[in-house]
Amino acid sequence: MGQRQKAGDSTRLPAISRRAVIGATAALPLAGPARGLAPVGAAEIPAQCANWIALDLEIDRLASRWSQLETLAVRQFDYFRLTDAQISALPMGPEMDATDAECRRLGDVREEALKPLGKLTPQTIQDVSAQLAIAYRILDFERGDAWPFVRQAWTFLSRSYCPGCGAAYAPSGSLRVEPQ
């Protein structure tokens, strides 16, 4: 970008990247609810989605820790030739067992929490972005079914309009959507 303006006391203001300016201006028109719908529990869907993502990230952290312990066991012991009892007797064995058990428990909690999230109907663009964040994690890391989240987001976007200019977020016919 060009030169930065000087502040009143001869210090320079921080540079603002082109990406930051474009991102800030693009976010403003998306902030409103769908036309004709009042935002109901605006923070509810994003908060529920954020809780699910935090749980998913915790499982990732635990799985990474288990992997580190397994790598350590491979380096120090003949890990792949040990029985389960022998692995549990290793110095890192109890932590590996506890980490594995916690990953399995949290995985079950995550699966149960996902079912109702896929049935929520977004009322704001924030709801849509929260649901698409879950869809992204499912597609990228889980290889699971993200279709309910994508369908809900598309349904919202196809009936929503920019509060600034009135243009449709997703004009009809712009994408083909498979029926349920």
DSSP secondary structure string for all residues of the chain:
--PPPBPTTSPBPPP--HHHHHHHHHHTGGGSBPTT---SSTTHHHHHHHHHHHHHHHHHHHHHHHHHHHHHHHHHS-GGGS-HHHHHHSTTHHHHHHHHHHHHHHHHHHHHHHHHHTTPPP-BHHHHHHHHHHHHHIIIII----HHHHHHHHHHHHT-B-TTT--BSS-TTSS-----
pLDDT score recorded for residue 144: 67
Domain segments of the chain as ranges: 43-155
pLDDT score recorded for residue 5: 42
Taking the complete model, does pTM exceed 0.75, yes or no?
no
* pLDDT tens for each residue of 70-120: 999 999 998 999 998 999 899 999 999 999 999 999 999 998 998 898 888
pLDDT score recorded for residue 176: 61
pLDDT score recorded for residue 162: 78
| Residues of the chain falling short of pLDDT 70 | 1-43, 142-144, 171-180
